[in-house]
Amino acid sequence: MKKINTLQQIAQSKIVAVIRADSSEEAIQITKACIEGGITCVELTYTIPGVEDAIKSLVSEYKDDSRVVVGAGTVLDETTARLAIMAGSEFVVSPAFSKQVAKLCNLYGIPYMPGCVTITEMQEALTYGTDVIKLFPGSLVGPDYIKAVKAPLPHVNIMPTGGVSLDNIQEWLDNGCVAVGIGGNLVNAAKADGDYQKVTELARQYVEKIN
């Protein structure tokens, strides 16, 4: 049931903030800024030093807020996936498809979102029970690609990451994406000078754009 709730929350919010940071503390601050701005689904990447501490902290702090969903990104192997799940991650994201990660996530009832570009990659991922395909990098293909994919695979849930901006977010969603992932275009505002209010403001702009 929790898996269904997680997927529903992502589909309802339509935006997943992809958090990359130089420390777990910075990741927590950026995440809180996103949530304050209305983006309540966040993916903390394994490129963050001490990311599991950040995941545990955020899951604990927002455990009573059903809107907030915390997942792990840049998960390259099954060991990392299990560590992420044990830390409290509610979904797992990879830059590429992994059979081992897919099986592990299925075992624990956790949504898995692997990075795919081609129809062949997507078909294989779907065969292993993938719930959402992370179209990555989205900048490689653009919003029109969604229509091309959904012609032969109308049932596939696609979430583009990379190449999503304020200017094109509505186009991605109108073309049939279940949600979008937003990374640098959202969080880099804070990384330059530590001004987390900029992230909150940008998050609000994204939320207003789709509402």
Which strands make up the sheet holding 112-116, listed edge to edge? 158-160, 133-135, 112-116, 92-94, 69-73, 41-45, 15-19, 180-182
Please give the full DSSP string across 116-146, using - where no structure is assigned.
E-SHHHHHHHHHTT-S-EEETTGGGT-THHH
Q: How far apart are CA 183 and CA 5, in angstroms?
A: 23
Positions annotated as catalytic residues are 43, 134
Q: How far is CA 196 from CA 11, 19, 34, 176, in A?
A: 26, 13, 9, 31
How many other C-beta atoms lie within 10 A of the C-beta of residue 56? 16
